[in-house]
Structures are given as structure tokens and as C-alpha cells.
Structure 1
Amino acid sequence: MSDLATLAKTAFDPDAPRRVGVAVSGGSDSMATLHLLAPFYEVHAVTVDHGLRPEAGAEAQFVAAACARLGVPHQVLHWRGSEATGNLMDAARRARMRLIGDWARGQGLDHIALGHTADDQAETFLMRLAREAGLEGLSGMRRSYQSDGAHWHRPFLDVTRAELRQYLRDAGIAWVDDPSNSDPRFERVRARAALAGLSDIGITAEGLARVVGHLAQARAALDAGLELFVADYVVQDRGALRIDRAAFTRDLAPELQRRLLNAALIWVSGADYPPRAAKLERFLHDPEPCTLHGCQIIRHGAYLYVAREFSAVADLRVPCDQIWDGWSLEALDGQDVSGLTIAALGPSGLPQCPDWRATNLPREALLASPAIWAQEKLIAAPFAGFENGWKARKEASSFAATIFRR
């Protein structure tokens, strides 16, 4: 059995079901992933058409034809990428992962494979190095992680793109080239060009991937100690994180304080990345209450709270059967929910909750908590002592599971 076949056969945990999902764009990395996994698993493939290029529809059909030849079920998902604002590639990546996660849950698939390679790992390292990232960022993409109820895997993260393309050529398997992969407007393309230029001094994708692996081992060692602290001194409190302030100051070195707060800010905000290093350093140097990364860091009694910032969600309103800022709300008594929406409790809703002080949550955290509204009338605020037959559930895994065991 070839090395690639061995990696494919052991791509998932031994107790994982044999029925798995694979994200396939039609590019070389994902096409190789599809064909390598298909002999060993009951594969279901999915392609996201971002609507950004006229060729995207034909590329999705190319993947569909390849899947049909393999006998693999395939589905195309659509995202209106032309409406995205800000960082287009980041918005497309977020949309792709969200759509694929929703698709997997609908198909009853718990495990999903992605076609990232050692080249992607090296490019990511360079991009994060340019942002002056800490150990979290420089330790790279994880081989497996949990997010939104699914297990995501990168079985070929130690394999170069050239190796996967050689496998495809040897097997007579075609792939498509996305022209945006050569567009220097995008940061990853510039990182790819920089990586190619570094080969003159012996820096390669394989070498950087090994460096990232060493950093990941260092990160794991730090995380092991930090996880013990979290178990003893950090409480997940209705969407906020409550940290024992004395223990935080007494027991954690500055680097571990930074790592804990980075992890807390990511988990509370639902963001993929921590804040810029300089912003968090300012707080650690002068630990006064502040807003950061769409969150608030609040002193409340003996505790430090990391909670959602009201202004970050003030304009977010969705129907009550949709997810609001990572929360789903459910009526438990069969009441009519037509016309109801989820929005932040806010300063207009809090006075309608006479028992909010008994919750022991900071006022600032309650303002950003999810509530049920009938236009301007408050129906329920589960975190503010006004459940009224409603329960709130966070879609993400627990803080410890998300940060330390994904």
C-alpha cells in the first residue's frame, strides 16, 4: 500500500463511522482527497459554488461527473459571494465552512475531510507571521478539530501539493485550476509567491510544515497546563466565561494569561482568529475593563468576565427558528412562535426583566444576551431571569472542548 493510501485509510479516528463527508472544489488537493478516500469509506461529496466566477458552475459539474464515475453522492451548495464585504477570501472561507457544516448535519455526517496540504500549512504560517501572531497562530492548522457539532479532518496536511498532483497524473485524474489562485490581490497568493522565493535559502513548504509541527507540540504542552487551570478556575456562564481573578493573576504567567484570554475571546465572539497581538498586550499591561474583539472584559466581584459586547450584536435580528450569534432558542411549551424574532436583550429589554440582578451576571453581559421579541415587545430573556417557556442553547462545543481538544 502506498504512503498516500495509508494516510487515506487512517484519515479518521478508529471509532469514526465509515460514512464521511469530503469537501471537493475540483482543484488538485480536494480531487486527490476524494479519490484517495473513496476506496476506504462511504464518501459523500459536497461542492460550494461561491458565485464569484462564471466558471464556478462548470467546475461544480466537473466534480459531479467525477463523483458519478466513483459512485459517490454529490451535492452543490450556493453562496452569493458577490454580496460579501471586506476580506473576500476570508468571507468565502467562512461561508464555505458554514454551508458544509449545515450540509453535513443534514446528511447525518459527523466527520468531514478537507484537502489542505503542507503548502497550505506553510502559506498560513507566513501570513500569520506577517500579522505578528503568537504561538497559537504560528502552530498552524490542526490535523483535526471540532466545530459546530462536526469533526473536521485534514488527512494530507504533511503531503505537498506536488505529491498529490503527481498521484493524480499517475492515475489519469484531471483537476481544475482556479485563476484566483494566481491573483496577487489575495494574501494567500502573495504568501505562495514569497514561499517560492524563499527556496533559494533552503526554506520549503515541507520544512516550514515541520517547524509548524514543532510549534504545535510546544502549544500542546502549554495547553495541557492551561487546561488544568480552566478546569479549576474558569466557568462557562450562560455564554460568558467567568475567570477567578485572583487565580488568574497569581497562577498564570503573562504568556498563559494571553493564551487564555485569546481563547476566551475566540469562543465568546465565535471568531476564527484572536485579536491583534498589540490590542491584547495593552490590556495585559493595563488590565482595566475594556472592549476587544466584539467582546467585553469586565471586572465583576471576584471574577473577570469575558462576555459578548452589545454593540457587536445590537443590529442582529433573525427569525426565532434561526441561529442568532451562535445561539438557538427553543419554546418548550408549544406556544405560537410565528412572527417572533431573536435579538439582543439590550437596554430597552433589561428593565422588563425585574429579576435580572438575581442572575449574578454583569449588566453588560445581559445586554448582549439573546432574547425573543414580537416586534418591540419582549417575550422572553432566558439569561435575565425571564424564561417564559424558552431555553437558549449555544451551538458551539464547550469552551474546554473547543479550545483544547479540537
Structure 2
Amino acid sequence: MSEVTAKQAMLKHCVATAFAYDKPDQLAVAVSGGGDSMALLHLMAEWAEDEKIRLWAVTVNHGLRPEAAEEARFVSEVAQKLQVKHTTLTWTGWSGQGNLQDAARRARYRLMTDWAKAQGINTIALAHTADDQAETFFMRLARASGIDGLTGMQRRRVSDGITWVRPLLMQERFELRQYLRDLRQPWIDDPSNDNEAFDRIKARRAMEELSKLGIDIHVVGRVMDHLGQVRSALDFATHDHALDCVSEDQGDLILNRRRFAEGAPEINRRLVAHALRWIASADYGPRGMKLQEFLSAMMRGRDATLHGVRLLGGKESFRLTREHAAVAHTVAVPGTVWDGRWIVEGIEDKGLIVRALGQDGLLQLGELPDGAPPRETLSASPAVFDGNTLISAPLVRYGPATLRLAQPKGDFFTTLLSH
């Protein structure tokens, strides 16, 4: 086998391995037109054809450069030659405020998530490489990130019902470009990749200097692997501690005070951060001093609010529940997901809406039945209204509607090991 063929076989093996234990019937690959994603598109197209899997390509046009539309057309033409269906999604939400790269990244993932769900696709492949991983390490190191941040991007991550897979996370950028040269396939270099106003480009330049000391992407990768093993051990310890001191109650989490206090500070910090993220259906949990202040309130038995979650202190236990103010303006229709976690069923009138029960709903309920959750929990729970008239409050079995969590029971505990 020639050297070129051997390298191509290695890259194809990376793709096949990424889906060896979870091979979907159809999936998408995110393609910007750059070298990394163009290489992944070719590799995925060949693999999908061999495996009889329907492959889609999706490009996000952020609308920030006049060349972006032409670049999306270029990707579409390449995808067509590979017999891969292509879609371009357009972002028009940049207000000119805040961190542009972060806003664009969040918009990109949100657009792809919504598009994939509409197509019945639950897996999207991303073209991040070992170079991206090392750059991320130094960017997060500059922000004094903890162990979770320094472990970098995961090869496989589930977020909002979509599995994001990075088949090429162990491969170097130059290998992918050489692969494209061997195929005689051009790609597009984004000029922002040379703009040193961006932190990622600063990290890339710094790595060029650090390589003179022997600190290259391979060394960084090994360090991140070691940190990943430590993180995994912490995750398992947090999971075991949660099983010992946490119980679920109608979407809330109840923490036994005595058993919780027996946990190590770092384990308790991780447990509470994940609990807040789970209840708020947020991509990220709170960090820093605000989280520490919230933990202090817990230990003193005081009420507190953080990340859209209320802490209700008690003598024997704490209760973590959704904050009403965080969902006061959240609406949905029956049968769809409300607040990222609840689905109201058993009622089909299209003129009805689902919103938080609130104080007006509590007044219409009147006296609460025995065993009902606290009023704070009920106030932030989903209810069905016809205008301002309460039709159903399923958390207390008022009216015809029923209620279930979009996540399966026990999801809080399993996600401690897979977040």
C-alpha cells in the first residue's frame, strides 16, 4: 500500500470508528467550505455510500461577509457531485453587540439543531481537528478554566436531542489538506483565520512559538487526555453521590441535607452546577463566585436563586425548582416541548396555549390538594390556558391535560456521566 493510500485509509478508518457503535440511518455533516470540513464531507460521502446511509450536508451562512453566499454555493456544487443533498441555513441575528465569534457559534448550532430536527436527523458530524482542540486548550487556559474546560471538545456530545460527533478530532489540519490535494479538491480559506483580533488566531500564533519548546498539539493532546481521565473519575464520583443524596420529584430535585454535606466540596459543586443546568434546560451551568454563593446559601439553609432555579431551604432537605420569572413569558402549544423539558398532552384544542401557571393560575386553582408541590414549583409549572382562563394544571391533576418530562425518568443521573 502506497503512503498516500495508507493515509487515506487512516482517515476513512477514523470516520468508520466514530460511528461503529451507533450507526444512524441518516446523518448530516456540517460543511463551511474550509479545508477541514471539505475533507470530512468527502470522507463521510464515501463511508455513507458503503454503509447505505443517507447523508446530508448543511452550511450556515452567517451573512457577515459578501463572499459567504458564493462559498455556500461552492459547497452545494461539491455536495451535488458527491450525490449528497445540501442545505444552506442563513443567520440574520447579529446585532453588532458582544462577542461576534461566540454569537455566530451559538447561532450556528441553534440553526443546525432546528433544521436537523425538522428533517428527522439526530446526528451531525463536525470537522474539528487536533489543531482546533489544542487552540481551544490555550484559549481556555487564558481564561483560567477549570478541569472541565481544559479537557476540551468531546468526540461525541448530546445536546438538545442532537448527537454531535467529531470523527477527525485526533487528526492534524495539514493531513486533511494533503488528503484534499491528493483528490485535487479545492477548498476555501476564510480570511478571518488570519485576523489576530480573534482569540483563536492568537492561540494559533502562540502555539507556533511554543512548538519551539516541544509543546505541540500532540503534547497538548496527551495532557488533555490525562485531564479527561480525571474528569471522568470526578463524574463517576458525582454520579454516585447524587444517587445517595438526590431524588427527583415532578421535575424538581430534592437533596438530603445530611448526605449532601458528606460530599467533598468539588463533588458538591459539580453536582449543584449540573442540577441547575438540568432544571433550567441550559447548555451550560453557572460557574465562579455566583455558584459558590449559591452553595453557601444551601449550607446555611437559606433560599436563593441562580440560573433560573429557586433554592427552597429546609431543615431536612433542599428543593431545587424552576424560577417563575425565568419562564413567565415562555409559551407553547399542547403536544410540544415547553421550557425545554415539559410536554403537555391529552388536550388538542389549537386555540389553547401552554404557559407558566403563575399567581393568576394559582388563584383560579383555589385550595391545593394534599401532597401538592410547593406553590413556588406550581407557579413555574406548565398549565393550559384559554386566554386568561385556566383550563388545566396537570402537575396537580386539575383538568384533562397530562404532563411528562421530555427526558426519560432518571435522566438527571445519567446525564451526570454524559454531559
Q: For 2:28 and 2:178, how far apart are their aligned partners in 1? A: 24
1:352 maps to a residue whose letter is Q
Which runs of structure 2 are paired with 1:73-88 in the superposition (5 Å)? 73-83=85-95, 86-88=98-100
Match in the other structure for 2:304: 290
Q: For 2:129 and 2:385, how far apart are their aligned partners in 1? A: 46
1:8 maps to a residue whose letter is V
1:401 maps to a residue whose letter is T
Kindly state the Cα deviation for residue 317 of structure 1 after the two structures are TM-superposed: 3.5
2:149 maps to a residue whose letter is G
Across the aligned residues of Structure 1 and Structure 2, the Cα RMSD in angstroms comes to 2.7
Q: Deviations over 1:231-271 (max 9, x none)?
A: 34323333332222221112x11110011112112222233
Kindly state the Cα deviation for residue 359 of structure 1 after the two structures are TM-superposed: 5.1
Given the superposition, is the C-alpha separation of residues 382 and 355 from structure 1 closer, same or farther in structure 2, using an over 3 Å criterion? farther
Q: For 2:308 and 2:243, how far apart are their aligned partners in 1? A: 25
Given the superposition, is the C-alpha separation of residues 253 and 358 from structure 1 closer, same or farther in structure 2, using an over 3 Å criterion? same
Match in the other structure for 1:277: 288
Moved more, 297-306 or 169-178: 297-306
- Aligned to 1:199, which of 195, 211, 215? 211
Is 1:403 matched up with 2:416? yes
- Aligned to 1:28, which of 31, 35, 44? 35
Q: For 1:85 and 1:375, how far apart are their aligned partners in 2? A: 36
- Aligned to 1:3, which of 7, 10, 18? 10
- Aligned to 2:45, which of 34, 38, 48? 38
1:12 maps to a residue whose letter is F
Q: For 2:123 and 2:72, how far apart are their aligned partners in 1? A: 22
Given the superposition, is the C-alpha separation of residues 196 and 44 from structure 1 closer, same or farther in structure 2, using an over 3 Å criterion? same
Q: Deviations over 1:325-358 (max 9, x none)?
A: 2035344143x222x3333222332222336564
2:366 maps to a residue whose letter is P
TM-score of the two chains, using structure 2 as the length reference = 0.86
Which runs of structure 2 are paired with 1:180-199 in the superposition (5 Å)? 180-199=192-211
Is 1:313 matched up with 2:327? yes
Moved more, 25-34 or 77-86: 77-86
Match in the other structure for 1:354: 366
Q: For 1:344 and 1:215, how far apart are their aligned partners in 2? A: 41
Aligned length: 403
Given the superposition, is the C-alpha separation of residues 305 and 30 from structure 1 closer, same or farther in structure 2, using an over 3 Å criterion? farther
Match in the other structure for 2:278: 267
Identity over aligned pairs, percent: 45
Q: Does the 8 Å CA contact 2:27/2:56 hold for their aligned counterparts?
A: yes
Given the superposition, is the C-alpha separation of residues 9 and 85 from structure 1 closer, same or farther in structure 2, using an over 3 Å criterion? same
Given the superposition, is the C-alpha separation of residues 297 and 200 from structure 1 closer, same or farther in structure 2, using an over 3 Å criterion? farther
Given the superposition, is the C-alpha separation of residues 358 and 86 from structure 1 closer, same or farther in structure 2, using an over 3 Å criterion? farther
SS at match of 2:261: helix
1:260 maps to a residue whose letter is L
Q: For 1:249 and 1:160, how far apart are their aligned partners in 2? A: 45
Kindly state the Cα deviation for residue 276 of structure 1 after the two structures are TM-superposed: 2.6
Kindly state the Cα deviation for residue 216 of structure 1 after the two structures are TM-superposed: 0.8
Q: Which runs of 5+ in 2 are unaligned?
A: 1-5
Given the superposition, is the C-alpha separation of residues 180 and 344 from structure 1 closer, same or farther in structure 2, using an over 3 Å criterion? farther
Q: Does the 8 Å CA contact 1:119/1:206 hold for their aligned counterparts?
A: no
Is 1:154 matched up with 2:154? no
Q: Which runs of 5+ in 1 are unaligned?
A: none
Q: For 1:341 and 1:291, how far apart are their aligned partners in 2? A: 27
Which runs of structure 2 are paired with 1:208-287 in the superposition (5 Å)? 208-250=220-262, 252-287=263-298
Match in the other structure for 2:3: none
- Aligned to 1:95, which of 101, 107, 115? 107
Q: Deviations over 1:121-159 (max 9, x none)?
A: 222223333333322222221111222333221111112
SS at match of 2:46: coil
SS at match of 2:94: helix
Match in the other structure for 2:341: 327
Q: For 1:238 and 1:86, how far apart are their aligned partners in 2? A: 37
Question: Relative contact order: is structure 1 or structure 2 higher (C-alpha 8 Å, sep ≥ 6)?
Answer: 1
Match in the other structure for 1:365: 377
Given the superposition, is the C-alpha separation of residues 170 and 281 from structure 1 closer, same or farther in structure 2, using an over 3 Å criterion? same
Given the superposition, is the C-alpha separation of residues 9 and 374 from structure 1 closer, same or farther in structure 2, using an over 3 Å criterion? same
The structure having more radius of gyration, on CA atoms, is 2
Q: Deviations over 1:64-111 (max 9, x none)?
A: 111111111112223323358544333332332233233333333333
Q: For 1:357 and 1:92, how far apart are their aligned partners in 2? A: 48
TM-score of the two chains, using structure 1 as the length reference = 0.88
Q: Does the 8 Å CA contact 2:147/2:227 hold for their aligned counterparts?
A: yes
Q: For 1:100 and 1:140, how far apart are their aligned partners in 2? A: 21
Q: For 1:85 and 1:318, how far apart are their aligned partners in 2? A: 29
Kindly state the Cα deviation for residue 301 of structure 1 after the two structures are TM-superposed: 5.4
Q: For 1:224 and 1:327, how far apart are their aligned partners in 2? A: 24
Q: Deviations over 1:16-54 (max 9, x none)?
A: 235322111222221111111221123221122233333
